[in-house]
Amino acid sequence: MPLKLSLKPGEKFVLNGAVVQNGDRRCSLVLQNKASVLREKDIMQASEVTSPSRHIYFPVMMMYLDEAGAEKYYDEFLTRMTEFMSVIANPAILAECVVISKAIMGREYYKALMGCRKLIEYEDERLGHVSTGLSEDGSAE
């Protein structure tokens, strides 16, 4: 199934590991086959890994962007997810952690990444998090 991307002027995205930037006008791209695509708003830099949920998001993002090398990020994901789950009591968030873990096991990295955003939102709501990283709407803070 094709994926249609509508891009704002100057918007960046990663396509199979390559950073691509749109020109000075809005445009649409249609990807006809499976590819790893991540919009600029969903890309987290290592310096933005400032909380437990972001420590989960980052290795999942790396697995998605580098599927061939996913194994090297898996241990970090597993450690961080285990730590996170050991201090969370909210049943809905624990269930989301299970969904994320199952997605990772099924190599559905994008699905896991979107689940990780829910963990970030939950954490930000509880802690009043205002540092750099992904905000509730996925944009960089």
Positive or negative torsion for Cα 68, 18, 60, 109: negative
* pLDDT reported for residue 130: 54
pLDDT 10s digits, 10-37: 999 998 888 999 999 999 989 898 888 9
96 C-beta neighbours (distance < 10 Å), count: 17
pLDDT 10s digits, 93-131: 999 999 999 999 999 999 999 999 999 999 999 887 555
User: At residue 58, what are phi and psi to the nearest 5 degrees?
Assistant: -60, -50
- The model carries a pTM of 0.82
